Amino acid sequence: MSEPELSAGELGHLARCVQLAGEALEAGHAPFGSVLVSGAGEVLAEDHNRTGDGDPTAHPEIALARWAAAHLTVDERAAATVFTSGEHCAMCAAAHAWVGLGRIVYATSTAQLLRWRAEDGVAPGPVQPLPIHTIAPRVTVEGPVAQFTAPMRALHARHSGR
């Protein structure tokens, strides 16, 4: 897969996602972070994983989809982009598509995460690790972006206790 061509601003949004993933890990959650950006490039909302509080569905991508459903018009949702540290899981990809959000840009892919978890001896999760396009075929998806591989690998290694 070729590296997506992203602007400095878009790379900045991905860097913020990685920072949020680090904040999640520090707070006892899994290392994932996401940012919702309007069609005009304005940051509308951001969140990080909160599964450490006991709700395994507390992923940032579904939280942002629900925020968008509550706060944005249909057109605003379609024009918005979700930047995220790791490719959406099946649950979050479905929420993204149901809410009618626009493009997704991810720093690291589900395929990378699966490889890292296997390397770290982490058991597979209970949900099929399907790519976004299998769940949401009409969403424009870009990623992974190589410069974020090393920092995200390090966060996941720490999360796995390595």
Binding interface with Zn ion (CB under 5 A): 59, 89, 91-92
Whichever of 66 and 73 has its CB closer to Zn ion, that residue is 66
Q: Are 142 and 102 in contact (CB under 8 A)?
A: no
Residue type, 101: L
CB of 93 to Zn ion, least distance (A): 8
CB of 20 to Zn ion, least distance (A): 14
Whichever of 42 and 89 has its CB closer to Zn ion, that residue is 89
Q: How far is CA 85 from CA 69, 75, 102, 140, in A?
A: 21, 25, 17, 16
CB of 153 to Zn ion, least distance (A): 19
d(CA 50, CA 34): 12
Helices (H), the chain: 8-26, 60-71, 74-79, 90-99, 110-119, 132-135, 149-159
CB of 5 to Zn ion, least distance (A): 26
Q: Are 145 and 6 in contact (CB under 8 A)?
A: yes
| Dihedral sign (CA 157, 11, 59, 28) | positive
Whichever of 32 and 148 has its CB closer to Zn ion, that residue is 32
Whichever of 81 and 85 has its CB closer to Zn ion, that residue is 85
Structure tokens at 136: 């949401």
CB of 137 to Zn ion, least distance (A): 18
Whichever of 89 and 132 has its CB closer to Zn ion, that residue is 89
